[in-house]
């Protein structure tokens, strides 16, 4: 039986002791949002996901979805759980009150909401996450009649949203998409083309599905500069006659808008999350944002979804760890190598074995370090909207830098953690009865979604560290070096501060090497990008563990804080040294890769 307890105590610690989450949103329009309200949200969402979402997760994996004649039917338990979430307002936490939302800060919805939803039922969690992404692009860039008509139903979850990028011949290289948008006299466009790998592209969870589609208007520029973004609903309004939507009701025409599903992929995991082939046949759509300006808007949504995908790695890593730990606390095999621990039992508990402890502690410590970095990133997502230029500039730079790291490093760790937790449980971990094998199958897509992790690494190494003459990196180095300097003479911090200093110094040196060598030989940068991203991720987690340790040193003797200190020590002794080998791999350059003859593969 699967077990899971929402890590609410950890979030309380991070939001209120490590970071000043409430103070960070001062002046951003959240005047009525305080620590008590935040605590209520964390506990309430934890209760909802544990009691409503978690019980349907295994069912969804086993039952999957139905596909017949272009129609996808979801398990009734999924529809019931989703409806309960709508009725309790959980789908609209971060949306504006005028659209039926709670209007809470982004740091809750992007971090805590995402982790709990993924842990409890990843297959269901992606539906509202996508819908909110469509809502945000629409409300920031759509014309007013589109906002008035679509925003409220997207916010509350009554209608669902998708983003449609990939085509059969165009994945990462979106400049070669062939979907066309023909302009009409009434201001609408007729969209024609096929999109693949569309999550929740078709289903019966909501009355309507609103697609954001990348397409090209004939006569536009070549490549990505000719791509525009269009909003295309599955069903048009019943009263709609021309291009305008102002003042009409949300009653829907029962005839679909030329939007059909011709296939649903059979996948390794996420069996209750539809992955669709979508066809658009002269479907009516509206331009969102400027003509030929679709790529920046879609990347705006994708970057938010990349953070959400990173949280999927954390969410499934956490529930995998909790189940492996619960198993370990009951399991007895062999004896402690230093002597029998439980003479009254036929075997000792497996936690006496160093390798079992290694696996569990790697899972636990990486999860908790990632959660701390996620909280920092969530706060920055809010601070990007500050009216103080120095605050918004720094937040924007750091979010740009952190996004590929969170997406790639968290999902790499999530896959490693789920696999490791299966290993802890031995043969039981490989059996469906205990749930961890499902977590491994489900989390595996996270390394591929929203741009593969190799693409994220290239984005970090090739763009984000050099952007605006290194501005992003400077905004990180300031707080890092300041923290190290502030704690240089703090004796209690030495075991954390000294390795952090070495890691940051190494990061600076490796970054300069990547830039210098990469300018002369782009293969050098590309060959080292993945290792560089992991190196960077470890340094950021090291910074998080040092910050947490500083708080906990003031409260030694209390079990929660003592456990954190022990975890910080484990991180710096057993995980952080990986940076040394990563640096060596980066420094080796691309020769061993690129000189390898093709015929020898």
Both 367 and 227 in one domain: the answer is yes
How many Å is the maximal CA-CA distance in the chain?
86
> Cα(120)–Cα(170) distance, rounded to whole angstroms?
33
Both 95 and 177 in one domain: the answer is yes
Both 477 and 378 in one domain: the answer is no
Question: Mutual orientation of helices 522-553 and 494-520 as an angle, nearest 10°?
Answer: 170
Model pLDDT, residue 385: 94
From 199, 3, 7, 213, select the one nearest 114 (Cα to Cα).
7
Both 47 and 166 in one domain: the answer is yes
> Cα(497)–Cα(17) distance, rounded to whole angstroms?
19
Both 506 and 407 in one domain: the answer is no
Give mean pLDDT in consecutive 10-residue pieces for the chain, a chain of 601 residues: 96 98 94 94 98 98 96 97 97 94 95 98 97 96 95 97 91 83 95 97 98 95 94 94 83 93 96 98 97 90 91 98 97 94 95 98 98 98 95 96 98 98 97 96 97 96 90 95 96 97 97 94 97 98 98 96 98 98 97 95 96
Both 157 and 140 in one domain: the answer is yes
> Cα(258)–Cα(283) distance, rounded to whole angstroms?
5
Model pLDDT, residue 1: 86
Model pLDDT, residue 298: 84
Both 256 and 351 in one domain: the answer is yes
Both 37 and 141 in one domain: the answer is yes
Domain boundary among 421, 446, 471: 446
Report the DSSP beta bridge partners of residue 280.
193, 259
Give the CATH number for residue 326: 1.20.140.10
Model pLDDT, residue 240: 81
What's the number of domains the chain is made of?
2
Domain boundary among 407, 426, 446: 446
Catalytic residue among 98, 450, 486, 599: 450
C-beta of residue 102 within 8 angstroms of C-beta of residue 109: no
Over residues 327-364, the pLDDT tens digits come to 999 999 999 999 999 999 999 999 999 999 999 999 99
Question: Mutual orientation of helices 54-63 and 436-443 as an angle, nearest 10°?
Answer: 70
Would residue 362 show up in a list of annotated catalytic residues for this protein? no
> Cα(563)–Cα(142) distance, rounded to whole angstroms?
49
Model pLDDT, residue 302: 83
Q: DSSP assignment of 130-151, as one string?
A: HHHHHHHHHHHHS-HHHHHHHH
Per-residue buried b or exposed e for 128-141, using 16+ beta carbons within 10 Å of the residue's own CB:
bbbbbbbbbbbbeb
| C-alpha dist (Å) from residue 43 to 121, 297, 360, 428 | 17, 34, 26, 31
Both 485 and 470 in one domain: the answer is yes
Model pLDDT, residue 197: 96
Q: For residue 493, what are its two tokens?
A: 């911090």
pTM of the model: 0.96
Backbone angles phi, psi at 513, to 5 degrees: -65, -45
Domain boundary among 446, 463, 487: 446
Both 418 and 500 in one domain: the answer is no
Over residues 373-414, the pLDDT tens digits come to 999 999 999 999 999 999 999 999 999 999 999 999 999 999
Both 183 and 300 in one domain: the answer is yes
Tell me which residue range forms the domain holding 131. Answer: 1-245+252-446
| C-alpha dist (Å) from residue 72 to 301, 368, 449 | 25, 38, 22
Both 150 and 109 in one domain: the answer is yes
């Amino acid at each position: 039986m699967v077990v899971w307890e929402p890590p609410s105590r950890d979030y309380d610690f991070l939001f209120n002791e490590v970071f000043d989450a409430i103070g960070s949103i001062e002046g951003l329009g959240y005047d009525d949002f305080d620590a008590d309200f935040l605590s209520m949200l964390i506990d309430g969402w934890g209760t909802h996901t544990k009691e409503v979402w978690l019980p349907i997760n295994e069912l969804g994996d086993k039952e999957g979805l139905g596909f017949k004649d272009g129609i996808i039917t979801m398990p009734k338990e999924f529809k019931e759980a989703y409806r309960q979430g709508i009725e309790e307002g959980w789908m609209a936490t971060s949306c504006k009150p005028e659209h039926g939302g709670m209007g809470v800060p982004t740091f809750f919805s992007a971090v805590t909401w995402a982790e709990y939803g993924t842990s409890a039922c990843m297959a269901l969690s992606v539906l509202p996450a996508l819908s909110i992404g469509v809502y945000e692009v629409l409300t920031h860039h759509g014309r007013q009649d589109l906002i008035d008509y679509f925003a409220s139903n997207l916010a509350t979850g009554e209608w669902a949203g998708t983003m449609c990028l990939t085509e059969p011949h165009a994945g990462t290289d979106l400049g070669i998409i062939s979907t066309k948008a023909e302009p009409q006299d009434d201001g609408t466009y007729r969209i024609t083309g096929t999109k693949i790998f569309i999550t929740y592209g078709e289903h019966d969870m909501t009355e309507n599905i609103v697609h954001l589609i990348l397409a090209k208007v004939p006569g536009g520029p070549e490549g990505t500069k000719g791509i525009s973004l269009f909003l295309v609903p599955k069903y048009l309004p019943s009263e709609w006659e021309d291009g305008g939507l102002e003042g009409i009701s949300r009653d829907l025409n029962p005839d679909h808008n030329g939007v059909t599903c011709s296939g649903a992929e059979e996948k390794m995991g996420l069996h209750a999350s539809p992955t669709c082939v979508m066809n658009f046949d002269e479907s009516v759509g509206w331009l969102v944002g400027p003509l030929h300006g679709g790529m920046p808007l879609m990347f705006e949504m994708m970057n938010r979804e990349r953070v959400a995908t990173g949280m999927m790695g954390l969410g499934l890593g956490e529930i995998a760890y909790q189940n492996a730990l619960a198993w370990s606390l009951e399991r007895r095999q062999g004896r402690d190598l230093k002597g029998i621990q439980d003479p009254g039992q036929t075997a000792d508990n497996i936690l006496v074995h160093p390798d079992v402890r290694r696996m569990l502690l790697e899972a636990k410590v990486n999860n908790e370090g990632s959660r701390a970095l996620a909280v920092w990133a969530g706060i920055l997502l809010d601070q990007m909207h500050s009216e103080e230029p120095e605050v918004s500039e720094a937040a924007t730079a750091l979010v740009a830098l952190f996004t590929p790291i969170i997406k790639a490093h968290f999902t790499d760790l999530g896959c490693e953690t789920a696999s490791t937790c299966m290993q802890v449980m031995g043969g039981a971990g490989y059996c469906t009865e205990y749930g961890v094998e499902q977590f491994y199958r489900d989390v595996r897509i996270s390394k591929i979604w929203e741009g593969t992790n190799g693409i994220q690494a290239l984005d970090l190494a090739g763009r984000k560290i050099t952007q605006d003459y290194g501005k992003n990196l400077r905004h990180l180095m300031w707080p890092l070096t300041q923290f190290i300097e502030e704690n240089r003479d703090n004796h209690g911090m030495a075991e954390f501060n000294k390795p952090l200093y070495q890691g940051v110094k190494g990061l600076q040196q490796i970054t300069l090497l990547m830039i210098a060598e990469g300018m002369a030989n782009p293969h050098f940068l590309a060959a080292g990008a993945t290792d560089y991203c992991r190196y960077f991720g470890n340094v950021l987690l090291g910074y998080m563990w040092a910050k947490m340790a500083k708080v906990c040193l003031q409260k030694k003797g209390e079990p929660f804080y003592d456990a954190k200190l022990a975890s910080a020590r484990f991180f710096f002794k057993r995980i952080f040294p990986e940076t040394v080998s990563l640096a060596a791999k980066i420094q080796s350059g691309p020769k061993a890769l690129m000189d390898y003859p093709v015929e020898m593969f």
